[in-house]
Amino acid sequence: MRQFWPAFVLFFRMRIIPKKTHDFFYNIVTSVLRARENGEQEKRGDFIDMMMALRNDDCNQNSKLVEDDVEITDIVIAANAFIIFLGGFETTSSTLAFMFLELAANEEVQEKMREEIRQVEAKYKEITYDSLHELTYMEMVIQETLRLYPPFPTIQRVCTKDYAIPETDVVVRGHYCGVPYLGHPRDEQYFARADAFEPERWREPRAPPPPGVYLPFGDGPRYCIVLRPIRSTVVGVNSLVSRIGIVKSAVYVSG
């Protein structure tokens, strides 16, 4: 509603985040900020330290704000911490949930993944940042999960230049656009047996999907901030799949 009818939301002061959640985040972030400012907590080179450095930056302190500049205040730091939490937490947990659903239904894929983990663990003795890069089959499984179940079904943009919609006399500018993303990845035109869960389709060498067809992490300058978000998911999968088997429940209904 906020995207389609922002004035309505502002007028009625509607909350997108419940007050309890808002206060919880704000209080945690500000208490850490104060503790680091007073030297009660050591610096850790993390997100909070980076935001504090930005706030203390000359630009933020001395120069006059120009249009579109944002002053780094406690609430801005808390809001950004919340976005990182939301962007990283919900996406990863939803990807894992759908992956486990498919692993329960495809035991041969699960066993292949487990075997790959065993081999990499045997080679490195433990899972390290470098060893994660050798879990190539697992990465294919995650790519396939994100093809069928992308956590973000649309990517949102605002049209900043005049755009004439082809074959119409409609010109849009300043409009909110939702780029739908659920259809293309399940379109037979782009992926053979598009509804089937087949991680092997991502095995290299392969032709990349046409531009705009596979966008689980978005596209352009607002692309997901995590350079390889797939890796964050890998860490979670690795520790679970290597130790437990995922099986269908008695009430499993094949889709």
91 sits near ligand HEM (criterion: CB under 6 A) = yes
Measured at the alpha carbon of residue 221, what is the angle toward residues 213 and 160, in degrees to the nearest 5? 90
Q: Using the minimum distance from each CB to ligand HEM, give the nearer residue, 91 or 106.
A: 91
236 sits near ligand HEM (criterion: CB under 6 A) = no
Question: Closest Cα partner for 234 from 95, 107, 81, 104?
Answer: 95
Task: Classify residue 145 as exposed, middle or buried by CB count within 10 Å of its CB (0-12, 13-18, 19+).
Answer: buried
106 sits near ligand HEM (criterion: CB under 6 A) = no
Beta strand ranges found along 66-170 (DSSP E): 154-158, 163-164
Q: Using the minimum distance from each CB to ligand HEM, give the nearer residue, 13 or 161.
A: 161
Residue, CB closest to ligand HEM? 218
User: Which phi and psi (to 5°) does residue 132 adopt?
Assistant: -60, -35
What is the distance between the alpha carbons of residues 85 and 235, in angstroms, rounded to a whole number? 17
Check if the beta carbon of residue 3 is closer than 8 Å to that of residue 158. no
In the complex, the smallest distance separating the C-beta of residue 141 from ligand HEM, rounded to whole angstroms, is: 12
Among 141, 155, 237, 241, binds ligand HEM (CB under 6 A): 155
Restricting to residues 20-59, which ones interact with ligand HEM according to CB under 6 A?
A: none
In the complex, the smallest distance separating the C-beta of residue 118 from ligand HEM, rounded to whole angstroms, is: 24
Helices 74-105 and 136-148: angle between axes, nearest 10 degrees: 100
How many residues sit in the footprint of ligand HEM (CB under 6 A)? 24
Stretch that binds ligand HEM, among 2-10, 42-50, 97-105, 214-222 (CB under 6 A): 214-222
Q: How many CA atoms lie within 13 A of 87 on its CB side?
A: 15
Residue 187, classed as helix, strand or coil, is: coil
Percent helix, strand, coil in the chain (nearest 5)? 50, 5, 45
Among 97, 172, 225, 244, binds ligand HEM (CB under 6 A): 225
Q: Using the minimum distance from each CB to ligand HEM, give the nearer residue, 2 or 34.
A: 2
Stretch that binds ligand HEM, among 168-176, 204-212, 227-235, 243-251 (CB under 6 A): 227-235
Which residues would be at the binding site for ligand HEM (CB under 6 A)?
83-84, 87-88, 91-92, 95, 146, 151-152, 155, 216-220, 222-226, 229, 232-233
